[in-house]
């Protein structure tokens, strides 16, 4: 039987074998890999085996899907390279398929048939299920047509070569699932290599294959059905390749931005005594940490003053610079218990002041309605000696800290009797002369009335007047000068001391 007669049976055999092997790997490989990782984590405990095991326990399908995709992509990519090197596909790019090229097409069909069923089974857990399912379905239909008509061998192998970029794409998704930092070296190496492979396999290689194919033959030598799917595959996969190229370039750009920000953040973070001594040859070349400053304050032997100046300083490494303005901005003061006690004391004092102000405001609003006065009386003064804490200082001879006294007042609430109602403003309205002090006696003669304002003392409460107003009015009658000029109060007058 000739090869064209057995092409359909061969395609079905290889495709079904690929589906069965992929399904077996999906169910059998994850338990074995998990057992190996458990042994490795017991012998040499590290972070990534435990993270993979936790991921496998939370989402059992993730490890199986990753292993099947990686194995299938590697095998298909290497198989396509071998077919390009051993067959005459460059001499017949559009018509005729050899047995090696047909086997690659059949394996690719079986791989994507399995991925269709796998994604449909995991449709609730995959974010881009519909887009991926559409890609898998179009790939299966295109390669089935190419295999049945035995045409477009070169561009069929080109599509299989695209699987080489899926390896790095799936690895980046696995690293994201494992919560690997996106500024880490492992994540960056995977992204950079994946971008380079995407540029080569999805950008450079298709252009080279197009040039070689059109120099040898024409695509219009194919039949109508494979020709239609040929142009369909060109448009469909060109859009996907452009999108992946753009996404790869942007991912590399984002990685370098995150990496730069991470380096700057590390430079701004304070380094402890142990961290700095591990990088230097001796502890004398490291910075003073908070513990070192506290030891210096207690009188312990300190490092020489030239240790900070002799420290090697890198670019943008602010944690290794010389202290500015006699204050070490890199000291981790928040770890000092005395600093925490000081902060707690200040916080409690602010809370007490706020509480007193709120109570005073509430009592003032109540006294406006009920005329009830509330006053806070200070009891005996409590004096507390507070020792000031030196947060950080430049190297120098130790000084004895001074002790300052602080007066603490504890308010005590005292209820006073209700205040009497305010007295109305008293006005002196009379046409009789009133004894007042007039700075100048040059009063015009043509005026018949003179307005003189007399201010009375404020009404702070019930008190006895030393001399009633009636007696003052009686004494005014004896003054001849004021009697000639009538003194009238202003029509609309209100004392500034009135309430």
pLDDT in tens, 6-24: 667 878 889 999 999 999 9
Single out the residue of 411, 407, 350 nearest to residue 375, CA to CA: 411
pLDDT at 25: 92
| pLDDT on residue 194 | 92
Residues in the chain: 499
Domain ranges, ordered by start, for the chain: 4-268
- In tens, the pLDDT along 55-85 reads 888 888 888 899 999 999 999 999 999 999 9
> What is the share, in percent, of the chain residues with pLDDT greater than 70?
58
* pLDDT greater than 60 at residue 392: no
Is residue 258 predicted with pLDDT exceeding 50?
A: yes
SS3 content of the chain, % helix, strand, coil (to 5): 60, 5, 35
Q: Give the pLDDT confidence score for residue 478 in this predicted structure.
A: 58
Q: What is the pLDDT of residue 109?
A: 93
What pLDDT score does 345 carry? 79
Q: Which of 97-111, 166-180, 441-455 has the lowest average pLDDT?
A: 441-455
86 pLDDT more than 50: yes
Name the 3-class secondary structure at 285: helix
Distance of alpha carbon 168 from alpha carbon 195, whole angstroms: 9
Higher-pLDDT residue of 150 and 280 is 150
Pairing of strands 382-386, 404-408: antiparallel
Q: Is the pLDDT confidence value at 141 over 90?
A: yes
Higher pLDDT, 361 or 135: 135
472 or 147: which leads in pLDDT: 147
Structure tokens at 247: 């996404």
- pLDDT class of 181 with cuts at 50, 70, 90: confident
Task: Tell me the mean pLDDT in the region 33-43.
Answer: 85
Give the pLDDT score at 395: 52
pLDDT at 423: 55
CA–CA gap between residue 174 and residue 50 (Å, rounded) = 14
| Residue-level pLDDT at 100 | 86
Helix axes 99-121, 60-86, angle to 10 degrees: 170
pTM, rounded to two decimals: 0.54
Q: What is the pLDDT of residue 20?
A: 93
pLDDT at residue number 296: 40
Q: Quick one: pLDDT at residue 190?
A: 92
Residue pLDDT, tens place only, 296-323: 444 444 444 444 333 344 444 444 444 4
Q: Going by C-beta distance under 8 Å and a sequence separation of 6 or more, which residues neighbour residue 103?
A: 10, 14, 79
More confident residue, 364 or 260: 260
**Mean pLDDT over the full length of the chain:** 72
Element (H, E) at 79: helix 60-86
Phi, psi of 449 (to 5 degrees): -130, 145
Question: Comparing 48-57, 158-167, 286-295, 336-345, which segment has the lowest mean pLDDT?
Answer: 286-295
Q: How many CB atoms lie within 10 A of CB 127?
A: 6
The closest alpha carbon to 290, from 275, 272, 266, belongs to 272
Helix segments in 314-376, DSSP class H: 337-370
Q: Which residue has the higher pLDDT, 437 or 89?
A: 89
For residue 202, pLDDT beyond 70: yes
* pLDDT of 219: 86
Dihedral angle sign, alpha carbons of residues 430, 433, 437, 441 = positive
Which comes out higher in pLDDT, residue 197 or 44? Answer: 197
With a cut of 80, say whether residue 139 has pLDDT above it.
yes
């Amino acid at each position: 039987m000739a090869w064209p007669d057995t092409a359909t049976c061969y395609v079905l055999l290889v495709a079904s074998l690929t589906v069965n092997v992929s399904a077996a790997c999906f169910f059998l490989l994850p338990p074995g890999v998990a057992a190996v990782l458990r042994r490795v984590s017991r012998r040499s405990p590290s972070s990534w085996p435990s993270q993979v095991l936790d991921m496998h326990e939370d989402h059992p399908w993730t490890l199986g899907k990753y292993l099947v995709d990686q194995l299938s992509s590697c095998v298909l990519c290497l198989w396509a390279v071998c077919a390009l090197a051993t067959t005459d596909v460059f001499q017949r790019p559009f018509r005729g398929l050899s047995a090696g090229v047909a086997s690659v097409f059949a394996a690719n069909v079986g791989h994507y048939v399995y991925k269709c069923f796998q994604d449909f089974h995991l449709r609730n857990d995959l974010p881009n299920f519909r887009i991926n399912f559409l890609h898998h379905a179009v790939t299966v239909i295109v390669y089935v047509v190419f295999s049945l008509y035995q045409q477009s061998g070169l561009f069929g192998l080109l599509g299989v070569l695209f699987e080489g970029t899926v390896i790095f794409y799936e690895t980046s998704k696995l690293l994201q699932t494992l919560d690997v930092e996106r500024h880490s070296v492992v994540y960056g190496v995977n992204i950079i290599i994946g971008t380079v492979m995407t540029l080569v396999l999805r950008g450079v290689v298709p252009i080279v294959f197009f040039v070689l194919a059109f120099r040898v033959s024409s695509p219009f030598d194919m039949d109508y059905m494979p020709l239609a799917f040929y142009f369909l595959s060109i448009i469909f996969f060109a859009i996907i390749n452009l999108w992946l190229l753009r996404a790869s370039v942007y991912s590399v750009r984002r990685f370098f931005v995150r990496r730069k920000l991470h380096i700057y953040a590390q430079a701004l973070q304070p380094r402890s005594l142990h961290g700095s001594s591990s990088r230097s040859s001796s502890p004398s070349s490291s910075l003073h940490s908070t513990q070192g400053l506290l030891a210096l304050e207690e009188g312990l032997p300190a490092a020489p003053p030239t240790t900070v100046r002799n420290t090697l300083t890198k670019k943008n490494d602010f944690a290794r610079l010389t202290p500015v303005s006699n204050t070490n901005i890199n000291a981790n003061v928040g770890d000092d218990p005395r600093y925490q006690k000081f902060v707690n004391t200040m916080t409690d004092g602010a809370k007490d002041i706020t509480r007193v102000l709120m109570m005073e405001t509430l009592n003032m609003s109540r006294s406006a309605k009920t005329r009830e006065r509330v006053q806070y009386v200070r009891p005996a003064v409590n004096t507390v000696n507070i020792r000031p804490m030196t947060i950080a200082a430049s190297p120098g001879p130790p000084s004895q800290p001074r002790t300052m006294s602080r007066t603490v007042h504890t308010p005590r609430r005292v209820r006073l009797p209700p205040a009497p109602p305010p007295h109305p403003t008293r006005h002196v309205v009379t046409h009789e002369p009133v004894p007042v002090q007039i700075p100048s006696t040059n009063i015009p003669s043509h005026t018949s009335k003179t307005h003189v304002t007399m201010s009375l003392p404020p009404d702070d409460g019930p008190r006895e007047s030393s001399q009633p107003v009636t007696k003052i009015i009686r004494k005014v009658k004896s003054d001849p000068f004021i009697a000639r000029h009538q003194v009238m109060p202003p029509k609309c007058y209100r004392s500034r001391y009135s309430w």
